[in-house]
């Protein structure tokens, strides 16, 4: 069963026959993927959906400007996709998956299409929501090894290698090995780690704390869950599964809707993962959980509550419950909206040391910028759900963080401000009030990693144009200097802080999220948290030895030079595992 149009869906929507130049910038194409995974079936067979991905030149692999997808089954050369056309628009020809399970599990071609489509649509979701290109942490392409020889626990994102590896495993439901990359949520989850890592590399470096790693997990889980949930047919299936023939649309309440989301989430996340069931109550000590999956899982629960409440609100509008289609479409649409609210928050959070209050503030500030009216009180629903988890803004009145910065000096050139890090350093330096607020050490250099203009369109068509910049300061203090600074410590201390600044089109500072640097109280709190986390329970997951596999020529051998299979030390462990 497939939603939307399928036959010929890989044809781009228009081209220019006169010039022979398809000019595909901005065009999208539909590719068929499994809506959830290989075991989810609808009334007409496998439950599939069409994902819209940007049209781009695709090489064998498939390889695009941003992704290199490699499918290599044991004993085979890497599979290389046979593309439909040697001329523009070079796009993958859309194919439906085989309906037979065994054939599906062994179909390298469909696996390549599934992985490419989910990865490319996840990246496109971030780029269209944030109004800018998103890079990888080490530049270049992100390699996705879609049928890797790694063990299940070694599947995941390897930041140093710019690589995502997906193993395969036996499953009680079939005798064949099941490629993990056939599960849409797993691919969306790992690609989200890579996107967030490219955008905020210090959230996952060696100095990152559990809150930042948990922020990664929460984002990755929510993108996975809500992008799957934004498939209307899947929501319909969840509702009918729960209600059966007796499904009464008029009595659906928050608990019922939330249960559907919980069931979907649990189905997706519980594949031997460390996450709690979404249907459990929030653990009272969730903030100090050591496992980033558990800690981040609480935020997944919070946002699932937001989705179910806003969904109910839509159903209670006139005609909202008129048909199953209406109800499921409302759920899918709310899921997509909340997902975009979450993604937008990224541009409103500091580049280091983010906390859950920062996430709440980021969601609210970003949403206020693109949807000033908020007629349906989406932001109120977010505030209430976060408050239930104990997350409240210390200064809710100053959402934008600039109320004390009236009269700043702007010794900058607007053109340079949107592209030149030096111009941002100059702006900070010329404003002692900003230096004092961020507690910047004036004797040390300020590092500005990125300055980017962004252009976004709000739900009402209102265009928001801003310039975003991040700065950091980090250094090591000896024990003596750290104690003199006021810290209680038994060793040298790594100090860091920084901020996210946003400027409007006229170059005025309109938003600031600061993590003060020379702030002994904040640095001591971080030290204490690190102390708490230094324990044997945090030890690395044991790594299974990896046996080298000799490539053997196969029926579907590469027709064009395929990328070399990624070589990663067997001792390496993923930055984030599935």
* Distance from C-alpha of 343 to C-alpha of 363, rounded to nearest angstrom: 8
Least distance to Zn ion from the beta carbon of 576, Å? 4
Least distance to Zn ion from the beta carbon of 224, Å? 9
* Distance from C-alpha of 363 to C-alpha of 346, rounded to nearest angstrom: 8
* Distance from C-alpha of 328 to C-alpha of 322, rounded to nearest angstrom: 11
Least distance to Zn ion from the beta carbon of 229, Å? 18
* Distance from C-alpha of 365 to C-alpha of 164, rounded to nearest angstrom: 32
Which is nearer to Zn ion, 29 or 118 (by Cβ)? 118
Which is nearer to Zn ion, 148 or 217 (by Cβ)? 217
Of 271, 249, 225, the closest CA to residue 326 belongs to 249
Interhelix angle for 356-370 vs 378-388, to 10°? 170
CB atoms within 10 A of CB 167: 21
Q: Which residue is nearest to Zn ion (CB)?
A: 576
Least distance to Zn ion from the beta carbon of 215, Å? 11
* Distance from C-alpha of 537 to C-alpha of 371, rounded to nearest angstrom: 44
Which is nearer to Zn ion, 300 or 424 (by Cβ)? 300
Of 195, 220, 188, 238, the closest CA to residue 51 belongs to 188
Which is nearer to Zn ion, 32 or 192 (by Cβ)? 192
Assess contact for 145 and 165: CB atoms under 8 A. yes
* Distance from C-alpha of 380 to C-alpha of 388, rounded to nearest angstrom: 13
* Distance from C-alpha of 343 to C-alpha of 362, rounded to nearest angstrom: 10
Phi, psi of 94 (to 5 degrees): -70, 130
Which is nearer to Zn ion, 107 or 217 (by Cβ)? 217
Least distance to Zn ion from the beta carbon of 119, Å? 15
Cross-strand bridge partners of residue 503? 467, 509
Least distance to Zn ion from the beta carbon of 574, Å? 9
* Distance from C-alpha of 202 to C-alpha of 199, rounded to nearest angstrom: 9
Least distance to Zn ion from the beta carbon of 575, Å? 9
Which is nearer to Zn ion, 79 or 157 (by Cβ)? 157
Which is nearer to Zn ion, 185 or 217 (by Cβ)? 217
Least distance to Zn ion from the beta carbon of 294, Å? 12
Assess contact for 50 and 5: CB atoms under 8 A. yes
Of 320, 328, 100, 310, the closest CA to residue 234 belongs to 328
Which stretches of the chain bind Zn ion, using CB under 5 A? 217, 220, 576
Helix or strand holding residue 52 (H, E): strand 48-54
Which is nearer to Zn ion, 224 or 235 (by Cβ)? 224
Least distance to Zn ion from the beta carbon of 220, Å? 5
Which is nearer to Zn ion, 13 or 538 (by Cβ)? 538
In a 3-state reduction of DSSP, which class is residue 551?
coil
Which is nearer to Zn ion, 94 or 190 (by Cβ)? 190
Least distance to Zn ion from the beta carbon of 71, Å? 22
CA-CA-CA-CA dihedral for 544, 548, 551, 552, to nearest 10: -90
Q: Give the tokens for residue 398.
A: 């100053």
């Amino acid at each position: 069963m497939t939603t939307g149009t399928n036959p010929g869906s890989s044809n781009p929507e228009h081209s220019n026959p006169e010039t022979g130049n398809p000019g595909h910038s901005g065009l999208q194409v539909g590719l068929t993927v499994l809506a959830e995974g290989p075991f989810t079936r609808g009334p007409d067979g496998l439950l599939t959906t069409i994902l819209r991905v940007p049209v781009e030149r695709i090489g064998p692999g498939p390889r695009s400007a941003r992704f290199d997808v490699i499918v290599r089954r044991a004993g085979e050369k890497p599979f290389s996709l046979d593309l439909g056309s040697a001329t523009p628009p070079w796009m993958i020809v859309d194919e439906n998956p085989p309906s037979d399970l065994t054939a599906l599990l062994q179909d390298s071609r469909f696996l390549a299409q599934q992985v490419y489509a989910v990865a490319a649509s996840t990246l496109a979701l971030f780029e269209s929501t944030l109004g800018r290109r998103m890079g990888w942490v080490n530049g270049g392409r992100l390699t996705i090894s879609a049928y890797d020889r790694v063990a299940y626990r070694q599947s995941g994102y390897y930041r140093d290698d710019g690589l995502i590896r997906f193993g395969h495993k036996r499953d009680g439901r079939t005798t064949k090995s099941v490629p993990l990359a056939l599960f849409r949520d797993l691919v969306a989850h790992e690609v989200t780690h890579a996107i967030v890592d490219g955008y905020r590399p210090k959230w996952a470096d060696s100095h990152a704390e559990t809150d930042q790693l948990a922020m990664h997990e929460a984002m990755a889980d929510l993108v996975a869950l809500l992008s799957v949930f934004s498939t209307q047919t899947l929501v319909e299936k969840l509702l009918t599964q729960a209600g059966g023939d007796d499904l009464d649309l008029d009595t659906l309440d928050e608990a019922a809707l939330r249960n559907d989301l919980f069931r979907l989430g649990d189905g997706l996340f519980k594949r031997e993962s460390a996450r709690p069931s979404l249907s459990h109550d929030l653990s009272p000590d969730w903030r100090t959980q050591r496992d980033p999956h558990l800690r981040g899982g609480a935020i997944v629960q919070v946002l699932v509550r937001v989705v179910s409440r806003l969904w109910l609100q839509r159903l209670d509008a006139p005609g909202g419950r008129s048909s199953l289609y209406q109800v499921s479409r409302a759920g899918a649409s709310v899921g997509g909206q909340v997902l975009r609210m979450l993604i937008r928050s990224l541009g409103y959070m500091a580049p280091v040391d983010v906390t859950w209050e920062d996430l709440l503030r980021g969601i609210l500030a970003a949403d206020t910028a693109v949807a000033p009216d908020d007629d349906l009180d989406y932001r109120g629903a977010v505030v209430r759900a976060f408050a239930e988890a104990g997350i409240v803004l210390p200064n809710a009145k100053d959402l934008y963080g600039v109320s004390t910065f009236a009269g700043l000096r702007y010794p900058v050139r607007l053109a340079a401000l949107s592209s030149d890090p030096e111009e941002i350093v100059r702006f900070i330096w010329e404003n002692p009030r900003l230096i004092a607020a961020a507690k910047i050490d004036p004797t040390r250099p300020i590092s500005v990693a990125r300055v980017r203009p962004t252009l976004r369109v709000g739900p009402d068509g209102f265009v928001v144009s801003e310039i975003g910049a991040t700065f950091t300061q980090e250094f090591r203090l000896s024990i003596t200097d750290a104690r003199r600074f006021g810290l209680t410590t038994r060793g040298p201390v790594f100090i860091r802080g920084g901020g996210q600044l946003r400027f409007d089109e006229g170059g005025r500072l309109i938003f600031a999220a600061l993590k003060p640097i020379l702030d002994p109280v904040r640095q001591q709190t971080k030290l204490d948290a690190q102390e708490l986390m230094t324990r044997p329970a945090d030890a690395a997951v044991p790594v299974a030895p990896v046996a080298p596999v000799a490539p053997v020529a196969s029926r579907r051998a590469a027709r064009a030079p395929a990328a070399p299979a990624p070589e990663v030390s067997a001792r390496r462990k993923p930055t984030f595992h599935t």
